[in-house]
Amino acid sequence: MLERTPDSSGKRRWFWPLRSKPKADTVFYEPYGDAIPPRIDEPVAPLKKPRGKWWWFSRGAAAALFVFILLVAYLAITAPLSKSLQPIVPPQITLLTTDGQPFARNGAVVDDPVEVAKLPDHVTEAFMAIEDRRFYSHWGIDPRGLARALWSNMSGSGMMQGGSTITQQLAKTTFLTPERSLTRKAREMLISFWLEAWLTKDEIFERYLSNVYFGDNVYGLRAASLHYYYRQPENLDLEQAIMLAGLVQAPSRLAPTRNPDLAAKRARLVKSAMVNAGYLTQDEADRLGTPRLDVRAKNALPTGTYFADWAMPQARALTDLSYESLTLTTTLDSRLQEIARRAIASAPLGQAQVALVAMRPDGEIVAMIGGRDYAKSAFNRVTQAKRQPGSTFKLFVWLAALRSGMDPDDKVDDSPITKGGYLPKNAGERYRGEISLKDAFARSSNVAAVRLFGQVGDRAVIREARNLGIKSPLAEDDPSLALGTSTMTLMELTAAYAGVAGNRWPVEPYAFKKDEQTWAEWLFDWPGRYKADTHADMEKLLRSAVNEGTGRRAMLSIPNYGKTGTSQNNRDALFVGYAGDGDDRLVVGVWIGNDDNTPLKGISGGSTPARIWKDFMQQAVQARKPASSRKPVARPDPEGPVVPLDLPEIPDIPVNVGDTEVRINGDSGVRVGTEIGGVPVDLRIDGDGVAIERRREENPAEADR
């Protein structure tokens, strides 16, 4: 909208609303002497009052107050007060096996919060003297303390001091990162004002003492007094309180268990500060000595094992932060873990590494060996190593073929591929012409796998892998994928076989018992399933691979299913399969390889991995006694000694007598592999008696690739 204003000529001129109007013209008149000047009808422009310093100061103060209110509001939203009630690090967690045996302990040592009212005066005075002697008189920021610290540090008096109050230290450790910047310092001061406004001085002091770090992985005054002097903080004497108060400046460097001389030197500075603050006289300070440590270490548990390293993040996610040490029961079965350890210890591995994981069909992990020796290498080859699965990947190719409508008895060409850009070969270059899908899977035909892959398409094969939980990248439009050239973890691969074992996918491995699924979760989280005939056909293929094909060294006297795998140039050797029924059914994956990815010597998927798998399954499933005949076992003390579930043991003693192989082991007895009347057999002598099993040896020329 336009606005009209009259000009000097009486006409009206138009101006935009946001433009300033022209100033009125000043009219000058000639003097009239004593005569009365003519009447002036034009308005006179009002004089503008100049803006003084007070005007600018008041506007600046209002703007600063507005910004301050916004900052306080932001802090109130982003830094909740309840966070100061929590410890600043995760508490200590002890992991137990299913029968209650502790096997790993990890995390900070914390304990219950302290109450200032129940602490002796000399305890609180020691901390205030060295950290914040005007704590009960300032509002979160102590200008005098800042000035004193600055002067002390500049003058080189020998007592280096910081200017942060106890409130500021609580704000920093609870709410902020340890970065050094002016922005963080400003936020620290603002949070300090906020804490002072909402908490009493005693509450601030209590939160500080319950969170501060004292070295040796110990947080909080109660945990520290128990750790260093084996007494509650309410019973600390003056010398002990002085020593603990001195640790908080540099706890890792001053811990008396590591550097007693530095800790004693710092304690002398605390005594001097107490004298200056009026809490002690000089004579009283001179009579004080250095307190004697009373560290009573309990039976220590290892901070990690292969299973514990994988399970601990799940434990943190399942629990809320608290001051209490936690004890959690995992799914790890100590009996099965020990069987796995023995099976690996007795295997002829040379310098190669090995990994084994055992799970239930729903993903419950019951045993895990991530390497030959955790103390030498904590790298978990079950969960961290991504290696080629070799022919174990053919599971997904044949599943795609079955779901496309093919039958195990349908024929596939097992002759050399001579055209195209990819020309795979069978192991030993043995070809059989037209054979059934069942025989091709049992003998792990590479050319048949590539032809099936081309027939069903890469999307169908990748779809089956994704359905069964494979999350690692899979190459598209690459026929070598059929032979397992894309990398994945042993955990992923074994979980995929578990999906087939239970006909319920995808399977998510877990370390802690799951709650019963609610009807709503069951309704919206419907698992995938194969049709009954598809699942039966796939199990027929897996069983033929063990009983008639490349996995014969893994054959059991009970129904068994599995697949061998050997990657390119013998860099990886695997056997993955399952056996047993009902609650005792286990899915086990075994991998052997070198960490530097160099080829293995004389090891394929159908040799040592299959043998380890069989040794494990024979004791874990086949020789499992009925529940009614099992003797009850007393539950161990969670605070007691640890069973070294991941440490190597003395292996069994192999003795070769001609064509006879004898293995002697104090736990599993004597095992003899020989021939009777030209028939290879295994003879086992242990506490359960004598057992003879027929063994069908694998032809080395048919080694799976």
Q: Which two tokens stand for residue 330?
A: 């995992």
- Show the tokens assigned to 198: 């909402």
Tell me what the pLDDT averaged over the chain comes to.
83
Task: Dump pLDDT digits (tens) for 629-683.
Answer: 445 555 555 544 444 455 444 344 444 444 455 555 544 566 666 555 545 566 6
Asked if the model's pLDDT at residue 594 lies above 60, the reply is yes
Q: Mean pLDDT over residues 349-365, rounded?
A: 97
* Cα 371 → chain centroid: 19
pLDDT recorded at residue 696 = 44
Burial of 73 per CB tally in 10 Å (0-12, 13-18, 19+): exposed
Residue type, 440: A
Dist CA 546 CA 551 (whole Å): 4
* Lookup: tokens for 473: 């990248």
Q: Where is 356: in which H helix or E strand?
A: strand 353-359
The answer to whether the pTM exceeds 0.85 is no
CA distances (Å), origin 357, targets 339, 344, 353, 354, 388: 12, 12, 14, 11, 17
Confidence at residue 649, expressed as pLDDT on a 0 to 100 scale: 44
State the pLDDT at residue 653. Answer: 41
Among 192-196, 406-410, 509-513, 569-573, whose mean pLDDT is lowest?
A: 192-196
Segment 326-334 mean pLDDT: 95
**In terms of Cα–Cα distance, which of 603, 602, 531, 544 is closest to 577?**
544
First to last CA, the chain: 86
Please give the DSSP secondary-structure letter assigned to residue 173: H
Q: What is the pLDDT of residue 2?
A: 46
Strand residue runs (E) in 92-140: 93-96, 102-106
Mean pLDDT, range 56-84, rounded to an integer: 72
The model's pLDDT over 82-98, given as tens digits with 9 standing for 90+, comes to: 555 556 667 789 999 99
Residue 494, pLDDT score: 98
Which is it for strands 669-676 and 679-686: parallel, antiparallel or unpaired? Answer: antiparallel
pLDDT at 622: 78
pLDDT at residue 541 tops 50: yes
Confidence class of residue 303 from pLDDT cuts 50, 70 and 90? confident
For residue 44, CA distances in Å to 11, 14, 115, 352 come to 19, 21, 76, 103
Rounded CA-CA distance 225/294 in Å is 10
Residue spans of alpha helices (H) in 88-220: 121-131, 143-155, 166-175, 182-198, 201-211
> Considering only CA atoms, which of 124, 164, 170 is closest in space to residue 141?
164
Amino acid at 133: R
Structure tokens at 424: 């795979």
Q: Are 541 and 441 in contact (CB under 8 A)?
A: yes
- How far apart CA 275 and CA 137 sit, in angstroms, is 19
DSSP string, 651-704: PPEEEEETTEEEEEETTTEEEEEEEETTEEEEEEEETTEEEEEE--PPPGGG--
Which token pair is 594?
Answer: 């070198």
The lowest-confidence range among 247-251, 590-594, 609-613 is 247-251
At 466 the pLDDT is 97
- Pairwise CA distance, residues 398 & 534, whole Å: 10
Give the per-residue pLDDT at 549. 96
Quick one: which of 222, 200, 201 has its CA closest to 211?
222
Q: What is the mean pLDDT of residues 228-239?
A: 96
Mean of pLDDT values over 498-505: 95
CA-nearest of 575, 387, 564, 393 to 479 is 393
At 149 the pLDDT is: 57
> Which pLDDT belongs to residue 463?
97
Q: Residue 76 is encoded by which pair of tokens?
A: 């109130």
Closest C-alpha to 102, from 384, 411, 262, 332: 332
Q: For 20-53, give one letter per residue: b (16+ CB within 10 A) or e.
A: eeeeeeeeeeeeeeeeeeeeeeeeeeeeeeeeee
pLDDT classification of 304: cutoffs 50, 70, 90: confident
Query: Who wins on pLDDT, 22 or 187?
Result: 187
Query: How far apart are the C-alpha atoms of 513 and 330, rounded to whole Å?
Result: 7
What pLDDT does residue 40 have?
Answer: 54
Look at residue 458 and tell me whether its pLDDT is greater than 50: yes
**Distance (Å) of CA 161 to CA 145, 298, 393, 587, 655:** 9, 36, 64, 61, 71
β strands within 446-585, DSSP E = 560-566, 572-579
Please give the pLDDT value at position 274. 96
Residues 6+ apart with CB under 8 A from 352: 592, 593, 594, 600, 603
Q: What is the mean pLDDT of residues 569-580?
A: 96
d(CA 478, CA 106): 44
* Distance of alpha carbon 244 from alpha carbon 236, whole angstroms: 10
**pLDDT band for position 325 (cuts 50, 70, 90):** confident
CA distance 665 to 243: 54
Q: What are 611-620's pLDDT values in tens digits?
A: 999 999 999 9
Look at residue 306 in the predicted model and tell me its pLDDT. 97
pLDDT value for 705: 55
- What does the pLDDT average to over 530-558? 96
Least confident of 527-536, 599-608, 695-704: 695-704
Would you list the DSSP string of 16-82?
-TTSPPPPPPPP-----TTSPPPP--SPPPPPPPPP-HHHHHHHHHHHHHHHHHHHHHHHHHHS-GG
CA-nearest of 191, 159, 156, 164 to 176 is: 191
Stated as kind and residue range, the H or E segment containing 454 is: helix 446-456
pLDDT of residue 704: 55
Give me the pLDDT at residue 672, please. 66
Residue type, position 590, single letter: V
What sections of 199-331 are H helices per DSSP?
201-211, 221-229, 238-247, 251-254, 260-277, 282-287, 306-318
Q: Phi, psi at residue 385, to the nearest 5°?
A: -80, 125
Is the CB of residue 572 less than 8 Å from the CB of residue 592? Answer: yes
Collapse the DSSP code of 505 into the 3-class scheme (helix H, G, I; strand E, B; otherwise coil) and give the result: strand
Give the residue from 155, 128, 132 showing the smallest Cα distance to 144: 132
pLDDT band for position 363 (cuts 50, 70, 90)? very high
Q: Are 317 and 350 in contact (CB under 8 A)?
A: no
Tell me the sheet residues that pair with 577: 562, 588
pLDDT value, residue 581 = 84
H/E element, 326 = strand 326-329
In whole angstroms, give the CA distance from residue 225 to residue 42.
Answer: 90
Cα distance between residue 443 and residue 441, in whole Å: 5
Phi, psi at 528, each rounded to 5°: -80, 150
Task: Please name the amino acid found at residue 317.
Answer: A
What would the pLDDT profile of 619-638 be if each residue is shown by its tens digit? 999 776 554 444 555 555 55
pLDDT above 90 for 606:
yes
How far is residue 663 CA from its own chain's centroid?
Answer: 39
Per the CB < 8 A criterion, the answer to whether 254 and 277 are in contact is no
Q: Following DSSP, what letter does each residue of 377-431 receive, concatenated? A: ----TTTT--B--GGGGHHHHHHHHHHTT--TTSEEEES---SSS-----GGG--
Confidence of residue 322 (pLDDT cuts 50, 70, 90): low
Q: What is the pLDDT of residues 188-208, one digit of tens each?
A: 787 888 788 888 999 999 999
Query: pLDDT tens-digit profile of 37-53?
Result: 556 565 555 666 677 77
Confidence of residue 144 (pLDDT cuts 50, 70, 90): confident
- Cα 9 from chain centre: 86
What pLDDT score was predicted for residue 111?
87
- Give the whole-angstrom CA distance, residue 143 versus residue 148: 9
Question: Could you say which DSSP state residue 297 is in?
Answer: -
Looking at per-residue confidence, does 228 or 626 come out higher? 228
